[in-house]
């Protein structure tokens, strides 16, 4: 229930109680009609405004009618006194202390139990309202500070997770990739390698690639994106998104996608490697051969062949970080990559990746 509804209900309850008390006083004292009507009217007027008008106006009216009741009839109902106290507490302002002056004057001129109590209760109620308002504001400020502190802790933790993710990616992922590459290289280049040794090297490469895949999933848990959604919830790019990638490339060059063979489901690591290789090759073509036409070909078969060819001059440094990264990515997925001038001109990047039966 809202505060306004509670106050209105309390005002009418106090009004009814004050009106009933006034009737009892009139009947017991056998007072005349004018006294009785005035007391009943002041009893109602000294309570009901609490729930009908604004708090400051209500407390001024309640104090005025209470003062008139004491000055004219020497009586103030309990309901009217309670309504005045509630109004003072609700306003919660030091300026309400001025409303205590008339009651102090009455207490000095006509000291009775009622007037003295009111002279003490009215200013006390005003100060109580101020204290309650200050406490409420302090609680709100404390809650705000706690929320800000929690937010800072959350952002600090998020930044720490991002730092750990970067370090894992920059250091651990590179070493695991090199393990996979060296195991595959040793298997293929070691002369007279026994079959068991070749099998062991192949197992090392497979385990390294599997560990790299699991570590990338861990990075998705650690690294948050800008809007606070965990990167784990964002699916890794897939080959069916190459159309969008080529649409972006067409803004600066003519690019087309060629698919041959029957597409088959791929291991997520292989599919991600193929997508990233195409993405990096398109970036290199845009950087080193702006405006050149680019063909992206996916050839499905016993292995997946990814070919990206442009008709530009090709990169000046064929051993740059971009090409090195593509080779490492292809090797980590269990494939190979070569890059260099194409037979018919331009520059060619060709990756051969494994296809496993699903």
DSSP per-residue string spanning 146-175: HHHHHHHHHHHHHHHHHHHHHHIIIIIHHH
Distance CA 53, CA 354 (A): 80
Residues 6+ apart with CB under 8 A from 15: 43, 44, 47, 48, 79, 83
The secondary element (H helix, E strand) that includes residue 284 is helix 268-288
What pLDDT does residue 226 have?
A: 43
- Walking along the chain (358 residues) 10 residues at a time, the average pLDDT comes out as 74 83 79 81 84 83 84 82 84 78 81 79 81 86 85 78 66 71 81 84 82 73 51 62 81 81 86 88 81 89 92 63 81 89 87 78
pTM of the full structure: 0.41
Please, is 244 exposed, middle or buried when counting C-beta atoms within 10 Å of its C-beta (0-12, 13-18, 19+)?
exposed
What pLDDT does residue 306 have?
A: 94
Tokens standing for residue 222 = 């650690």
Distance CA 233, CA 87 (A): 54
CA torsion through residues 246, 247, 250, 255, sign: positive
Please check whether residue 218 is in contact with residue 210, taking contact to mean a CB–CB distance below 8 angstroms. Answer: no
Distance CA 28, CA 36 (A): 11
What pLDDT does residue 351 have?
A: 94
Closest CA to 277 of 205, 197, 332, 212: 332
What pLDDT does residue 222 have?
A: 64
CA torsion through residues 125, 131, 134, 138, sign: negative
What pLDDT does residue 138 have?
A: 87
Tokens standing for residue 184 = 């595959």
Which DSSP category does 253 fall into?
S
The secondary element (H helix, E strand) that includes residue 56 is helix 55-68
What pLDDT does residue 358 have?
A: 43
Measured at the CA of 169, the angle between CA 167 and CA 172, to 5 degrees, comes to: 80
What pLDDT does residue 167 have?
A: 62
Distance CA 63, CA 61 (A): 5
């Amino acid at each position: 229930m809202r505060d306004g509804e509670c106050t209105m209900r309390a005002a009418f309850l106090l009004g009814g109680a004050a009106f009933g008390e006034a009737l009892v006083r009139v009947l017991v004292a056998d007072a005349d009609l004018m006294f009785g009507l005035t007391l009943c009217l002041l009893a109602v007027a000294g309570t009901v405004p609490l729930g009908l008008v604004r708090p400051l106006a209500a407390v001024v009216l309640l104090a005025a009618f209470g003062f008139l009741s004491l000055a004219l009839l020497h009586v103030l109902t309990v309901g009217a006194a309670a309504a005045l106290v509630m109004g003072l507490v609700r306003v919660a302002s030091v300026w309400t202390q001025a409303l205590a002056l008339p009651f102090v004057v009455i207490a000095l001129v006509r000291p009775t139990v009622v007037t003295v109590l009111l002279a003490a209760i009215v200013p006390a109620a005003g100060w109580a309202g101020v204290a309650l308002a200050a406490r409420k504001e302090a609680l709100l400020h404390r809650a705000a500070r706690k929320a800000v502190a929690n937010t800072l802790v959350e952002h600090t933790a998020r930044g720490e997770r991002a730092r750990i993710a970067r370090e894992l990616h920059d250091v651990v992922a590179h070493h695991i990739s090199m393990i996979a590459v060296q195991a595959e290289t040793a298997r293929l280049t070691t002369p007279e390698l026994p079959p068991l040794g070749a099998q062991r090297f192949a197992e090392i490469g497979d385990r390294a690639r599997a560990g790299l895949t699991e570590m990338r999933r861990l990075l998705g848990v650690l690294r948050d994106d800008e809007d606070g959604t965990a990167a784990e919830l964002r699916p890794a790019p897939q080959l069916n998104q190459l159309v969008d990638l080529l649409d972006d490339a067409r803004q600066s060059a003519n690019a087309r996608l060629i698919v041959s063979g029957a597409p088959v489901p791929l291991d997520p690591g292989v599919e991600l490697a193929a997508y990233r290789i195409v993405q990096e090759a398109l970036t290199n073509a845009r950087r080193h051969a702006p405006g050149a036409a680019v063909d992206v070909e996916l050839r499905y078969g016993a292995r997946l062949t990814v070919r990206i060819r442009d008709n530009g001059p090709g990169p000046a440094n064929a051993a740059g970080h971009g090409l090195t990264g593509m080779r490492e990515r292809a090797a980590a997925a269990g494939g190979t990559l070569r890059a260099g001038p194409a037979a018919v001109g331009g520059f060619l990047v060709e990756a051969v990746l494994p296809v496993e039966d699903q």
